[in-house]
Structure 1
């Protein structure tokens, strides 16, 4: 099991086949999927496919989303991290996307922000990328707030499958400036 990053409260590690129960709790919740197309999963078989897909990204792209584990309880909280996107989104292709998704009972505790900072540190300090991007449904106040808090700047608004989304970016120098004030 590879650990990519640790924070005061969190371990960010590779997603494992044994994460099925926590992953199912996360992705079967309609409230979690409110701004993700309203398509919560219905079965654990779907979760097995998702986990296999992410694990294949580790092999194909050297990176993929990470499990967020609570250091105090060892519980699966959700996922966060980077994804190397190989299909075109908003006229971008082959870019690093910052994302996070938490089990609802962990919302509002600063966990997504903490995981996002750790993900950006990994992107700029370990992978040495030049830019990281992110997107959020325009109505998803929580996610938009987190992205701004960790230093991403809204570049534009675009249409994703008929839903307006904000497109965000951060470059290495902006990250380094924000890191000093973090």
Structure 2
């Protein structure tokens, strides 16, 4: 995949195997997993498998999560991007476009998630011609819920996962842009 994007402070590019160490650093942090599934990675091979999975999505779906790099320093700060969800059911849905991100803890609360979210929503609607973009967040993840709301996504409903954990289902349509 040859797509590369830039915002004022960020460079967004496809994930590469050379990102494995930085991705592992992100994914092994229990604080990063607080509002996910509470399963931090324990070996770097897990991050390598994630990258290989995302690279298959680039081929199969022409989109996927991208490495998000701080332009000023070249640091990998996490991943952001659009994913076509066709490998599981979420809140009764499958075959939908999902926006998501995960940032290394030291880059939280600096506006990077909002900056990337605005770029991805714009790209999804204008270039990919997506009609609806969805996202889901843990109900208690106030920071991510604020980012999505600030970027124009609307809270559709709260829903429980298979373990009874409450999540929020967000959506924005092309018409509301």
TM-score between both structures, scaled by the size of structure 1: 0.93
What corresponds to 1:163 in structure 2? 165
What corresponds to 2:143 in structure 1? 142
2:174 to 157, 160, 172: 172
How does 1:89-168 map onto structure 2 within 5 Å?
A: 89-161=90-162, 162-168=164-170
What corresponds to 1:24 in structure 2? 24
Superimposed CA distance per residue, residues 94-132 of structure 1 (whole angstroms, 9 cap, x where no aligned partner): 110000100000000000010111110110011011000
Q: Which runs of 5+ in 1 are unaligned?
A: 176-182
Partners of 2:65 and 2:127 lie apart in 1 by: 15
Partners of 2:40 and 2:73 lie apart in 1 by: 26
What corresponds to 1:178 in structure 2? none
The alpha-carbon deviation at position 65 of structure 1 amounts to 0.3
TM-score between both structures, scaled by the size of structure 2: 0.96
Q: After TM superposition, where is structure 1 displaced by more than 3 Å over at least 4 residues in a row?
A: none
What corresponds to 2:56 in structure 1? 56
What corresponds to 1:13 in structure 2? 13
Partners of 2:90 and 2:168 lie apart in 1 by: 12
Q: Which runs of 5+ in 2 are unaligned?
A: none
Partners of 2:27 and 2:101 lie apart in 1 by: 12
Q: Count how many residue pairs are aligned between Structure 1 and Structure 2.
A: 175
Partners of 2:9 and 2:18 lie apart in 1 by: 21
The alpha-carbon deviation at position 143 of structure 1 amounts to 0.5
